[in-house]
Chain A
Amino acid sequence: MDIDFSPQDRAFQQEVRAWFKTHTPADLKRKTVTGEMLQKDDIVQWQRRLDAQGWLVTGWPKEHGGPGWTPTQRYIFDLERAAASLSMGVIMLGPVLIAFGTPEQKAQYLPRIRRCDDWWCQGYSEPGAGSDLASLKTTAVADGDDYIVNGSKIWTTYAHWATHMFCLVRTSSTGKKQGGISFLLIEMDRAGIEVKPIVSIDGEHHLNQVFFTDVRVPRKNLVGREGQGWDIAKYLLTHERTSIAGVADCKAHLANLYAAADERRSGGRPLAEDGAMRLKLARAEIELMALEYTNFRVLAATAAGKAPGPESSLLKTMGTAVQQTLSELDVEIAAEMAWPWHEGGELGHGRYAHAMPRYCFSRAATIYGGSDEVQKNVLAKMLLAGGAR
């Protein structure tokens, strides 16, 4: 048993840290620290810079441009990268195409994802299919060389930025409902697609509803076999197991909270000296340690080649709990500095201007990607089947 990184891994950490220190754009650093929403251009420029270094598609195998790192190196990299989320194409679609795509699909899409020529959004949830995702009703009916797609997707993050959507559609309504789902790639500029914005309670536009009316999509856009969509979606959920906990983001966030508590005053003294605030920060830090070491254990198991299990559900419930606690603390530390709606930045409330929207949007974390209740159902099933280790 050894909880330290190896000397090679520590050297790697130094290298990565030094690079980020000099190459992270200042405004990206600021936005990441304060929780300000990133714009498409922020992410595209950042991804291109990472790609030029060979560090963008760290989860992809070497032959598709990945750096060939070990899981531990990838973990270290994410820790040092600290927040600044990457696009869904890089994180989610790439690995799926590599595992299930045709050679043509790989050749067509993977380089474009790396260059950020395409922006992918994820079409899973529907108005009637949230926790019960398998009941989704958007249909794709074969017609010659095409599918004709009808239906609607909702909560589609950044659909308004997207050039493409990877989408779960129903190609069969007989038999088990999971078995009739297929994974389809859809260009967003096809006739019959309408994107309607949804403003969320942080006052921002991240989310959309997407409507499909007789949209023709070539059958060659199908990933895997017809009816394999559910398995592909499950593969995707377990693929990014160790990043799902968001340890790196939480660490950066916690550091920001400590800095804010030092800066804010209570009765003229630093808020960080307030006993209750200190305990609250300490408690959050300890919860983050529990999360981090659980994540380490999963990482070690992954490195040892163990098959994916229900860890992603555990890491998601633990991780989102920590994320939400930190966001709550943001608002508490800021107090009246967090009141001004958006444009309040001019009042010099800078560091605190995004505390409220960040907290508000953090509430989505226990809803999207399988709600907290659904994750616990998965875990309960595992426990009661005797699968607990």
Chain B
Amino acid sequence: MNFDLSEEQTMLRDAAQKFLRAEYGFDARNKIVASEPGMSREHWRRFGEFGWLGVALPEADGGFGGGIVETIQVAEALGAALAVEPYLASTVLGAQAVARAGSPAQRSTWLPGLASGELILSLAHTEVDARHDLAHVQTRATAKGGGWVLSGRKSGVLGAPWADGFVVVTRTSGAVNERQGISLFLVGASTPGVQVTGYKVYDGSRAGDLRLDDVVLGEGALLGTEGEGLALLEHLIDLGIVAACADALGAMGALLRKTGEYVSTRKQFDVPIASFQVIQHRLVDMFAAVEATRSLVLMAALHAEHLDAVTRSRAVSAAKAAIGERARFVAQQAVQLHGGVGMTEELDIGHYFRRLTLFCNLFGSADHHLQRFAALAAVAPNSPPPR
């Protein structure tokens, strides 16, 4: 058994932490959030130069040749820095969709640009009535004249205002909740009929709703096999969850460290409040939550490419269910132990709090994943197997 990172992985992690600490401090970050675009293209290109944006893409596509273990090193550092750029939306969800299912033409159109930071590609899968049921797809794609026509609405599209294109999840056949009949398409953001309503999210990032009105696409827009898109979508969301959990781990670790520092210096009743046992034990509970989170992120990452999809999804849901509860706890207690100052916009504590709050319900709440884990256990009671 060996949980050590390779030399290359260690370098990647250390470099990411070092760069973000130096160039993406809280003040710099707040300026980026308040800016008109709401992200920093300059930082994003730097991320590309460092290889972070192609970290899990093959070298032939302009990538770094790594995988999920490399992905979570960057994600954790970005979470600790409260970064708002669309790493999860584009580097994980968008790029992996193309990397896993793209034709040679689609790969060459998107992957080098995604790896360098020139392009941003978002996944548009959620619909208002679907919640976290990935098979609930009402957006339709109809074959017409050798191409396709798309119509429908998507909500909660991460990074939508910045995206050059979208991986749109549609239904080409079947009833609305059916597993068969789901197809993915690559849609340029400026394609006629595509309307993006962007907004600022409570964690400082941007997202949007998508409206597709008779969007005409060529034959080459279909990503993967027609009608067989759900398995790919499920894998993408599982990868997204692992990356989001690593991001949450970065934020939780930062909160633990900052809270420990605060209670050691804040004095009430003439002593540091860290001298009170109730504070000490609370801090230890936060510490245990962070440690369990690190373990579960690793567990999920090590199963993220498991050939058996049930085994993979069980591991991922286990992590999301357990980390969701812990993220909420750590975020709430960080605010509580900071008292009034933890409630202010001026301090970074509240910004971590909001990021973790949104994480808790992203891709499904803890309860959703608890249910998914239990349901999958019935299918494969003995998974995940020993490594």
> Which stretch (B97-105, B244-252, B351-359) binds chain A?
B351-359
Q: Does A38 contact B (CB under 8 A)?
A: no
Is A203 within 8 A of B371, CB to CB?
no
Q: A130-B339, A154-B340, A336-B126 are in contact. Are A341 and B202 (CB under 8 A)?
A: yes
Measured between beta carbons, the chain A residues less than 8 angstroms from B354 are 201, 356, 360
A132 within 8 A of B: yes
Interface 0/1 of A63-104, CB less than 8 Å to B = 000000000000000000000000000000000000000000
**Binary A-proximity of B189-210 (CB < 8 A = 1, otherwise 0):** 0000000010111100001010
| Contact residues of B: prevailing secondary structure | mixed
Which listed residue (A201, A275, A337) contacts B371, Cβ 8 A? A275
Complex Cα gap A155–B342 (Å): 12
Interface size on A, residues (CB 8 A): 51
Contact of B136 with A268 in the complex, beta carbons under 8 Å: yes
B118 on the A face (CB < 8 A): no
Cβ of B107 under 8 Å from chain A: no
Quick one: given A276-B371, A341-B199, A366-B336, are A201 and B358 in contact (CB under 8 Å)? no
Q: Please, which residue of chain A has its CB at the minimum distance from the CB of B266? A: A130
B residues 97-137 in Cβ contact with A at 8 Å: 126, 128-133, 135-136
- Nearest chain B CB to A260 CB, angstrom units: 13
With A200-B344, A264-B131, A265-B128 known as contacts, the answer to whether A347 contacts B353 (CB < 8 A) is no
For A277, list chain B residues within 8 Å (CB). 367
Does chain B have a CB within 8 A of A258? Answer: no
In the bound complex, do residue A371 and residue B357 qualify as a contact, i.e. CB atoms below 8 Å apart? Answer: no
CA distance A207 to B339 in the complex (A): 14
Complex contact B201–A200 (CB within 8 A): no
Decide: A268 and B129 in contact? CB cutoff 8 A.
yes
CB distance from A181 to the nearest CB of B (A): 16
**Residues of chain A contacted by B360 (CB below 8 angstroms):** 331-332
Identify the closest chain B residue to A368 (Cβ).
Answer: B340
> Contact between A338 and B176 (Cβ–Cβ < 8 Å)?
no
Residues of B within 8 A of A343 (CB): 199
Tell me which residues across on chain A come within 8 A of B368, comparing CB atoms: 276
Can you list, as one digit per residue, whether each of B259-277 has a CB less than 8 Å from chain A (1) or not (0)?
0000000011110010010
Task: Mark A residues whose CB is within 8 Å of B.
Answer: 125, 128-132, 135, 154-155, 198-201, 203, 207, 264-268, 271, 275-277, 280, 328, 331-332, 335-341, 343-344, 347, 356, 359-361, 363-364, 366-368, 371-373, 376
